[in-house]
């Protein structure tokens, strides 16, 4: 794969490849790995600069994440997978659709949007990247944590909030800055919606303020035959905030893919 990438594989059966959100890591899929492993091969990895994967030499593009995912499938001898991504991971999933359509069995787009950043958003990311370089990962935690999790989680699950904060604080400032640059430079994926030819689940938290439900509704309308699920009592990280409801929706969707025999 060119550079070392931290990854985790559990279970046997139809493969599911997960791309994580910014600024987190493969850990965000722990509950899904446990829920799916009895019936699926769950594959997840830390994008470059996050978790156990060292930063690359330049900005972290969504294409780089997608290509690393495809290379990991090659490494594991997996031909096709259902590909799922949350937020930044959703942008990487769109890149995967464009670059590796033959590897795609199904698609899960969680708490993400299809459009590119506008000029204001790009400037905001550049400003935050400079602040992270000066002050460290704490700048990213302060900027994102209040909006990363839903109102219910902030009120009723302080341990989740504290856990996510600690994970962000442990992240490489270079990795965060490189990803912010890549997020700002990402392509407009609205045209990609028409290219999706596989079963697709669009899922989002009802309390998501970073990518509100309207963004998921737009993706759902743009991807022919897709399914939309709104997870109650959850924000931008619906799979972490309400794993029971999320896993039920995910397992229902995955049930259409027959196990490989």
**Which tens digits make up the pLDDT trace of 64-74?**
999 999 999 99
Average pLDDT estimate for 4-10 = 96
**What are the boundaries of each domain within the chain?**
7-254
Q: Which helix (H) or strand (E) holds 195?
A: none
pLDDT of residue 184: 98
What does pTM read for this prediction?
A: 0.96
Q: What is the pLDDT of residue 39?
A: 95
- State how far Cα 193 lies from the chain centre: 17
Within 8 A by CB and 6+ apart from 159, the residues are none
Helix (H) or strand (E) holding 7: strand 7-10
Fold of the domain built from segment(s) 7-254: Rossmann fold (3.40.50)
Q: If you search the block for the tokens 């965000």, which residue do you land on? A: 28
Of the pLDDT bands very low, low, confident and very high (cuts 50, 70, 90), residue 2 is very low
CA dihedral 85, 86, 89, 94 (to 10 degrees): 60
Cis peptide preceding 147, ω within 30 of 0? no
Segment 103-156, tens digit of pLDDT: 999 999 999 999 999 999 999 999 999 999 999 999 999 999 999 999 999 999
DSSP string over 84-119:
EEETHHHHHHHHHHHH-GGGEEEEEEES--SSPP-H
């Amino acid at each position: 794969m060119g550079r070392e990438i931290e990854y985790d594989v559990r279970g046997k059966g139809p493969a599911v490849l997960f791309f994580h959100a910014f600024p987190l890591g493969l850990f965000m899929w722990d509950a899904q790995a446990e829920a799916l492993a009895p019936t699926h091969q769950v594959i997840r990895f830390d994008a470059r600069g996050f978790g156990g994967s060292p930063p690359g030499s330049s900005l972290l593009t969504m294409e780089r994440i997608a290509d690393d995912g495809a290379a990991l499938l090659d490494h594991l001898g997996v031909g096709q997978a259902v590909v799922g991504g949350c937020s930044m991971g959703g942008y990487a999933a769109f890149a995967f659709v464009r670059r590796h359509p033959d590897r795609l069995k199904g698609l899960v787009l969680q708490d993400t949007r299809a459009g590119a950043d506008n000029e204001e958003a790009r400037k905001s990311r550049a400003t935050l990247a400079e602040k992270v370089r000066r002050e460290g990962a704490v700048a990213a935690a302060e900027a994102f944590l209040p909006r990363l999790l839903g109102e219910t989680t902030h009120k009723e699950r302080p341990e989740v909030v504290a856990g996510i904060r600690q994970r962000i604080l442990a992240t490489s400032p270079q990795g965060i800055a490189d990803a912010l640059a890549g997020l700002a430079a990402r392509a407009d994926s609205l045209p990609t919606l028409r290219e999706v030819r596989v079963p697709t689940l669009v899922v989002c938290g009802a309390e998501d303020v970073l990518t509100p439900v309207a963004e998921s509704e737009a993706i759902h309308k743009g991807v022919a035959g897709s399914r939309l699920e709104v997870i109650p009592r959850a924000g931008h990280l619906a799979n972490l905030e309400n794993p029971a409801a999320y896993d039920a929706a995910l397992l229902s969707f995955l049930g259409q893919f027959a196990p490989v025999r």
